[in-house]
Amino acid sequence: MEDYCEHVIYEKNPEVGGTWYENQYPGVACDVPAHIYTFTWGPNPNWSHFYAEGPEIRQHIQNVAKEYDLTKNIVFNAQVLDATWLEEEGKWHVKVDVNGHVKEDKADVVINASGVLNNWRWPSIPGLKDFKGHLCHSAVWDHSYDYEDKKVAVIGNGSSAIQIVPKLQPVVKHMTTFIRSPTWISSNFAAQHASAEGGNFEYSTEQKKEFEDAEKLLAYRKKIEHDFNQLYRGLEYGTPEHEFFQEESRRIMTTRLNGSKELAEKLIPTWSFGCRRLSPGDGYLEALQAPNVTPIFNAAARITEDGIVDSDGTEHKVDAIICATGFDVSFAKQWTVTGRHGKTLQEQWKDNPQSYFSVCAKDFPNLFFVLGPNSPVGNGSLIPQMEWAGAYAVKWVEKMAQEQIHSIDPKQEAVDDFNVYTQEYLKRTVYTSHCRSWYKNNKIDGPVTAMWAGSPMHFKDLMSTQRGEDFDIKYCSPNRFRFFGNGTTWRDATNADLSYYLRKDGFST
Ligand SMILES: Cc1cc2nc3c(=O)[nH]c(=O)nc-3n(C[C@H](O)[C@H](O)[C@H](O)COP(=O)(O)OP(=O)(O)OC[C@H]3O[C@@H](n4cnc5c(N)ncnc54)[C@H](O)[C@@H]3O)c2cc1C
Ligand SMILES: NC(=O)c1ccc[n+]([C@@H]2O[C@H](COP(=O)([O-])OP(=O)(O)OC[C@H]3O[C@@H](n4cnc5c(N)ncnc54)[C@H](OP(=O)(O)O)[C@@H]3O)[C@@H](O)[C@H]2O)c1
């Protein structure tokens, strides 16, 4: 991209890492195998374990950024506050808070890669701020607080709580967990490549040495990635894979709950396996049965100065409350975005964020999203899928630069058709089952706002074509072919090889 445009990355944090910089709670880890939760172009022969913990992923991202000198275009401690499209200029005016000073920048194109799970939120429980003890959210862990021998409440039963509970349970005096809804605890992802029991394992020195051979490492990664890219089949109603996963999870949960009918009734969902983000949850069900843990299977109704009152009216006095209560996943909240005709993305996407192929939004020209609405956030490793969305945006940037394009904007009919197709397809998938999930903007019913309608390969194929016919394209000049210039090319001008297309081995384009 550097050949035809300048770019800058504004990052609100002081370093790279995103999710893995921010989420530092005990037990934070990736449940996708480390070798495929890796940049496709930046492999790491030295992953310590099959499934890596958060700090190791954060370090890996930093290593890659350093190795490829990627931080040179990043402004750290720079939070984007606002982006407004100016039609006459064909530019976005972007307001950024850099170290406490608001500056304005202009750009032909903005790529929003600010993360779908990057806007943590407090739960709306009355009295939350009255609590006199230690209050924290899983996404902003306070390392200065010592949980040892404390009475602690954990609110939530999602992937974050599932990792926190088994790590803190042995440390605390007593833990009360508030579980408002049941959840499926699955087997590990790509478990056929994990240890003999399907669990995590540490790579030996010999294995790491072998992975230094780029061919061997690639073959290993390809095997896991190939298998993992088939996960989507298990997330469609009625497939043999779905039946198998669901029954296998029921078996795993029943066994790990030691046959307790009461716990099984409360923890095993009646909605379909995979409706909300799956969690393998090593040690979670065991921790819930520990003598120092009291699971409460109803909502935290109210918070007092000393603890939490559950919806049966019982008060649970605690020293600390951990809210593992998730994120604002409305896709448009990180900063205000004003597009054509004064429209704001916040307003346009308030009830139902309808994107074009997850990467663009109507009336927000030259704005691209990585992991926008209805992107493949749940059925494969996210890293390649983010790369494909990024590469799609870069292709447009290149075309716009070369062909002197003022702006591109997806046509309304293309957005409509995409969303009709998407919601119709998603009816086949378990995401539409009756669970509350961030895939549905933390609702039980309603459109599935987060998921791609198809397999990872399906997304990849669609990202590899630009489909200009789906866009309104406005040029910088009244004649769209102004970029034809003086009728010669750089090859003519520089007297480069003017017969480069003659080849000994066949046809060349
Ligand atoms: C605790 C946790 C565990 C997860 N585990 C897994 C897993 O096991 N497997 C998996 O596939 N996925 C997992 N995910 C999902 C994870 O978010 C994605 O895999 C991936 O990290 C998304 O990358 P991203 O770059 O899109 O977003 P992020 O990693 O969130 O990065 C977004 C970046 O944008 C910056 N930013 C945001 N707003 C602004 C602003 N206004 N101005 C400037 N900068 C801004 C942020 O500071 C951040 O650096 C997990 C998520 C969480 C929260
Ligand atoms: N791979 C991993 O290991 C991993 C780890 C962490 C996070 N993640 C990613 O991050 C996503 C978010 O995970 P998360 O666990 O942070 O959030 P989450 O999945 O949205 O879970 C939030 C939990 O908090 C509960 N909750 C929210 N508000 C509440 C309230 N007012 N009272 C009581 N309970 C309340 C929810 O209950 P209900 O269920 O009733 O809504 C839910 O159990 C995951 O889905 C996943 O994509 C992945």
Is position 329 within any domain? no
Average pLDDT in the 362-387 region? 94
Average pLDDT rounded to a whole number, residues 118-147: 97
For residues 369 and 405, membership in a common domain is answered with yes
Residue 456 shares a structural domain with residue 391: yes
pLDDT tens per residue across span 17-48: 999 999 999 999 999 999 999 999 999 999 99
Residue 214, burial from CB neighbour count under 10 angstroms (0-12, 13-18, 19+): exposed
Asked, for residue 427, whether it belongs to a domain, the answer is yes
DSSP category for residue 204: P
**Statement to judge: residues 162 and 294 lie in one domain:** yes
Angle (CA) 52 55 56, round 5°: 45
What's residue 198's pLDDT?
A: 85
Number of domains in the chain: 2
Model confidence band, residue 380 (pLDDT cutoffs 50, 70, 90): confident
**In terms of domains, do 437 and 313 share one?**
no
382 band by pLDDT with thresholds 50, 70 and 90 = very high
Kindly state whether residue 27 falls inside one of the protein's structural domains: no
| For residue 364, pLDDT beyond 70 | yes
Q: How many residues does the chain have?
A: 509
Label residue 232 by pLDDT band (50, 70, 90). Answer: very high
Give the integer Cα–Cα distance in Å for 100 and 115: 22
Nearest atom within ligand 1 for CA of residue 381: 11
Average of per-residue pLDDT across 197-221: 95
pLDDT value for 508: 64
* 423 and 384 housed in the same domain: yes
Instruction: Determine whether the shortest distance from the Cβ of 371 to ligand 1 is under 6 A.
Output: yes
Tell whether ligand 2 has an atom less than 6 A from the beta carbon of residue 439: no
332 has pLDDT over 90 = no
Q: Are residues 398 and 456 in the same domain?
A: yes
DSSP 185: B
Q: What is the strand order of the sheet 307-310 is part of? A: 300-303, 307-310, 315-317
**Same domain, yes or no: 245 and 300:** yes
Q: Is residue 32 assigned to a domain?
A: no
pLDDT tier at 131, thresholds 50, 70, 90: very high
CA distances (Å), 243 to each of 144, 214, 298, 452, in order? 45, 38, 29, 21
Q: Domain for residue 31, yes or no?
A: no
CATH value at residue 90: 3.50.50.60
Q: Name residue, tokens 């609110």.
A: 155
* pLDDT at 196 exceeding the cut of 90: no
Residue 378: its pLDDT value, please? 84
Indicate the top mutation candidate among 40, 73, 112, 118 to test ligand 1's pocket, ranked by most ligand atoms within 8 A of CB.
Answer: 118
| pLDDT tens, residue by residue, 59-115 | 999 999 999 999 999 999 999 999 999 999 999 999 999 999 999 999 999 999 999
Residue 106 lies in a domain: yes
Span 402-422, pLDDT tens digits: 999 999 999 999 999 999 999
Residues 396 and 433 in one domain: yes
Q: Could you tell me if 88 and 176 lie in one domain?
A: no
DSSP structure string for 260-317? -HHHHHHHS-SSPTTSS--B--TTHHHHHTSTTEEEE-S-EEEE-SSEEEETTS-EEE
Domain hosting residue 390, numbered range: 9-16+71-119+335-475
Ligand in closest contact with the CA of 278:
2
Q: What percent of the chain has pLDDT over 70?
A: 100
Answer whether residue 368 is part of any domain: yes
Is the distance from CB of 411 to CB of 471 less than 8 angstroms? yes
- 304's CB contacts (< 8 A; 6+ apart) are 127, 130, 131, 315
Q: Whose CA is nearest to atom 37 of ligand 1?
A: 114
Q: Can you give the pLDDT at residue 303?
A: 98
Residue 331 in contact with residue 373, Cβ under 8 Å?
Answer: yes
Mean predicted lDDT score pLDDT of the chain: 95
Judge whether 301 lies within some domain: yes
Residue among 9, 74, 95, 117 whose CB has most ligand 1 atoms within 8 A, to mutate: 117
Distance CA 68, CA 274 (A): 37
For residue 16, is pLDDT > 90? yes
Amino acid 509: pLDDT: 61
Ligand 1 near 375 CB (within 6 A): no
For residues 352 and 286, membership in a common domain is answered with no
